[in-house]
Chains A and B, each alone.
Chain A
């Protein structure tokens, strides 16, 4: 986080790093050539649909019932019987099985499940929409993915909303499963010997700024509602969603110290320093004062002038120079975490660390994805096409009585099922079972 990838890769990997970054490998799925690949895939799907779809449409539309005897012989399923006496029974039987009949003199075409043939084209159409949707993401304004970091009690502006909305973190909670809750989990929790989180939750208040249009004015926040976001339960407003993403308790909120004399006896009351906004002076008991002479929230080093240098402005590793003075004397000491150094000699007092409190901050994800409806619709159409193409079988049966009784049949898949359609009808009409060339 924070580092500029352009700089990072160039500095660490030289020319190779520069090429790597120019080609977008550090962020592969958003790189320009990945988008080009998606576009090419979409184009080839369109081409394939036209190339195959139109001839298929034509051939399925103008089907004729009359077929040459050699056509009958070519089919995997066919049968020839001497007598055509029972043809009417076969026609009725197949009709009852849901076949549509086309008649031409003494030739018949029975057909069902033609929709199956359109499955792949519906499917491709859905895919094209999906690919188009995923390319849309790279247009500005279509996609927002931001983290919102809010310390407990703090109110922050919701980014990407032009200052229209504010959110206040009232409380962040982590719940864990209780080992003695009397549920079936008690044993498991005891066995695994570590805590299992049951809930991450931020209770927040959502505000709208009524003064948004007045340039330069202070925000006038009107509460929209209180809401609790949990994992799996995002908050929705306008076209945005707010998700519980993470939390942070690494920042210190306050530190409490106790002044002691050289015999480790406490002097006065403990005092607490609010690290975000420390007071200058703390009077521990009548006449004895502690002054903060220097403070670094994230201590790095002491410079030549004796000032404390802070690495960041965030209170993660605080250090202080305290001046302790009473009516008689004044002394200085440097206090860091786990370490204290006397600056003046023969100090009378020690500053002892008592406890610290940390800030609890919640980390929320702000998300807007206008491409999602298109991608979801595309995928739903894709699935519909897939199910139609896979679960429906296109079955065609040809019958004629030119010379006795001839029958042949074709399907795009599942000949087994087709035979199960035909054979009972043939049997009931007094004919033999249809012959399968492949078995």
Chain B
């Protein structure tokens, strides 16, 4: 019974992925020609995909008995679902189609990225066995989904407002963001290729910060490794023998997840190379390629969305990411605040948006300045979601 629910649930999220992908076609058409039918079709498709995603979430919850937010895959998938929710809410108020043209690809990239982790359901460790898991994480992801709208609106604003061939810092910074996007895509592609297609696998055995022996499975040649790591080969049945794998010789203490960092370093290197190749082929900045998509945007509307989504998302983040989090931390770890890496980063995110609002309300940071801040806010959220979970070993390292 439960496994049937799981299969249906997994099928639904895949179907939702393709529905969203296809919905981009009528959406793009409606932006280009202002055709009402195309807009109607695309919005219906997005709503259908969203319903499928919510059903995925609820079925998985029913099958496992806990909210589907307990590991990296589930968390990232939920974040992606909330992006769609954020978009539908924004659309309801402002009827903006261009925003969707950026949000949907972002949501798709996130699902693709999430599915690089194990998509298996996992049982909850004692610390996670609490109703607060659902309450805390769902509120946080909703707030992330809404806050992200501000960043997407900000990015569209910048793409339109900044002349793509301008010799200025703002144009270069925008191009850096484009290069960052290329790196993220390369990151996903390398992992999919090396892990899935090539099946590259170098195993290293090391002792983690709690003194447990762990085997790290490197899917890319090791540039950076754990202190005291030994190259091993799996013989099956929990037995290992020493082996000879490539390693650069750089080791870091186990509080840093060297394996994830290794992937990041590879992605940055390859991403920069691929970005360079793209520039050589296209002979233009990447922002110039994407700019036409943003040209139909109404700058005032983008600014309004950018501000409103922060105003709505920020209190939700304070509620879910700080208050609910503190209540649960008190119950599970006996202290409501302990400056764990994730807690510290939640505090940084919180302070950032506080500053954002103060600058906007007291110093008149509107338009472009506000757009930049919104984009930076999203980078902070992504850093908290991904880097803090994967690279720094803390209480929140579940994946």
B339:A29 contact, CB within 8 angstroms: yes
Given A193-B238, A234-B334: A391 touches B300 (CB 8 Å cut-off): no
Q: Which of A188, A200, A379, A438 contacts B300 (CB 8 A)?
A: A438
B280 partner residues in chain A, CB cutoff 8 A: none
A185:B308 contact, CB within 8 angstroms: no
Given A185-B122, A196-B123: A231 touches B315 (CB 8 Å cut-off): no
B334:A184 contact, CB within 8 angstroms: no
Interface string of A256-275 (1 = CB under 8 A from B): 00000000000000000000
Interface string of A263-292 (1 = CB under 8 A from B): 000000000000000000000000000000
A188:B315 contact, CB within 8 angstroms: no
Interface string of B315-329 (1 = CB under 8 A from A): 100110011001000
Given A232-B332, A367-B334: A386 touches B120 (CB 8 Å cut-off): no
Q: Which residue of B lies closest to A174 (CB)?
A: B126
Interface set, chain B 84-132, CB cutoff 8 A to A: 93-94, 118, 120-127, 129-130
Q: Which of B315, B330, B332 lies at the interface centre, i.e. has the most chain A CB atoms within 10 A of its CB? A: B315
Interface string of B127-151 (1 = CB under 8 A from A): 1011000000000000000000000
A439 partner residues in chain B, CB cutoff 8 A: 298, 300
A183:B2 contact, CB within 8 angstroms: yes
Number of A-B residue pairs at CB separation under 8 A? 95
Q: Answer yes or no: A156 CB below 8 A from chain B CBs.
A: no
B312:A391 contact, CB within 8 angstroms: yes
Q: Answer yes or no: B331 CB below 8 A from chain A CBs.
A: yes
Q: Taking chain A's interface residues, is the majority helix, strand, or loop, or is none over half, making it mixed? A: mixed
Smallest Cβ distance from B376 to chain A, in angstroms? 20
Complex Cα distance, B350 from A382, in Å, reads 13
Q: Answer yes or no: B63 CB below 8 A from chain A CBs.
A: yes
Q: Answer yes or no: A177 CB below 8 A from chain B CBs.
A: yes
Given A379-B323, A416-B93, A439-B300: A185 touches B123 (CB 8 Å cut-off): yes
A243:B63 contact, CB within 8 angstroms: no
B300:A413 contact, CB within 8 angstroms: no
A232:B130 contact, CB within 8 angstroms: yes
Interface string of A185-211 (1 = CB under 8 A from B): 101110111001111100000000000
Q: Answer yes or no: A170 CB below 8 A from chain B CBs.
A: no
Complex Cα distance, B64 from A236, in Å, reads 30
B315:A391 contact, CB within 8 angstroms: yes
Q: Answer yes or no: A83 CB below 8 A from chain B CBs.
A: no
B129:A231 contact, CB within 8 angstroms: yes
Interface set, chain B 1-34, CB cutoff 8 A to A: 2-3, 6
Interface set, chain A 348-393, CB cutoff 8 A to B: 365, 367, 372, 375, 379-380, 382-383, 386-387, 390-391
Interface string of B211-233 (1 = CB under 8 A from A): 00000000000000000000000
Complex Cα distance, B3 from A183, in Å, reads 8
Given A200-B126, A365-B334: A414 touches B238 (CB 8 Å cut-off): no
B365 partner residues in chain A, CB cutoff 8 A: none
Q: Answer yes or no: A347 CB below 8 A from chain B CBs.
A: no
Complex Cα distance, B300 from A439, in Å, reads 7
Complex Cα distance, B196 from A119, in Å, reads 52
B126:A232 contact, CB within 8 angstroms: yes
Size bracket, chain B contacts: 35 or more
Complex Cα distance, B129 from A382, in Å, reads 29
Complex Cα distance, B238 from A290, in Å, reads 41
Q: Which residue of A lies closest to B126 (CB)?
A: A231
Q: Answer yes or no: A317 CB below 8 A from chain B CBs.
A: no
Complex Cα distance, B40 from A388, in Å, reads 35
B300 partner residues in chain A, CB cutoff 8 A: 438-439
Q: Answer yes or no: A230 CB below 8 A from chain B CBs.
A: yes
Complex Cα distance, B118 from A380, in Å, reads 38
Smallest Cβ distance from B368 to chain A, in angstroms? 15
Size bracket, chain A contacts: 35 or more
Q: Answer yes or no: B304 CB below 8 A from chain A CBs.
A: yes
Interface string of A400-428 (1 = CB under 8 A from B): 00000000000001111000000000000
Q: Which residue of A lies closest to B94 (CB)?
A: A416
Q: Which residue of B lies closest to A28 (CB)?
A: B339
A188:B120 contact, CB within 8 angstroms: yes
Given A391-B312, A414-B308: A184 touches B63 (CB 8 Å cut-off): yes
A230:B238 contact, CB within 8 angstroms: no
A230:B334 contact, CB within 8 angstroms: no
Interface set, chain B 280-307, CB cutoff 8 A to A: 298, 300, 304, 307
Q: Which of B121, B318, B322 contacts A185 (CB 8 A)?
A: B121
B339:A386 contact, CB within 8 angstroms: no
A314 partner residues in chain B, CB cutoff 8 A: none
Smallest Cβ distance from B161 to chain A, in angstroms? 15
Complex Cα distance, B331 from A387, in Å, reads 26
A184:B6 contact, CB within 8 angstroms: yes
B308 partner residues in chain A, CB cutoff 8 A: 413-414, 416
B93:A196 contact, CB within 8 angstroms: no
Q: Which residue of A lies closest to B124 (CB)?
A: A198
Q: Answer yes or no: A101 CB below 8 A from chain B CBs.
A: no
B323:A383 contact, CB within 8 angstroms: yes
B57 partner residues in chain A, CB cutoff 8 A: none
A243:B334 contact, CB within 8 angstroms: yes
Complex Cα distance, B30 from A295, in Å, reads 86
Seed contacts A188-B122, A231-B126, A232-B332; 16 additional CB < 8 Å A-B pairs = A145-B335, A183-B2, A185-B64, A185-B121, A192-B122, A231-B129, A243-B334, A367-B334, A372-B330, A375-B336, A383-B319, A391-B311, A413-B307, A413-B308, A416-B304, A416-B308
Q: Can you list 18 residue pairs at the A/B interface with Cβ under 8 Å?
A: A183-B123, A184-B63, A188-B123, A191-B120, A197-B126, A198-B123, A199-B126, A231-B126, A232-B130, A232-B332, A243-B333, A372-B330, A379-B323, A379-B326, A383-B318, A413-B307, A413-B311, A438-B300
- Counting from the closest, the 4 A-B pairs by CB-CB distance are A231-B126, A243-B334, A188-B120, A185-B123
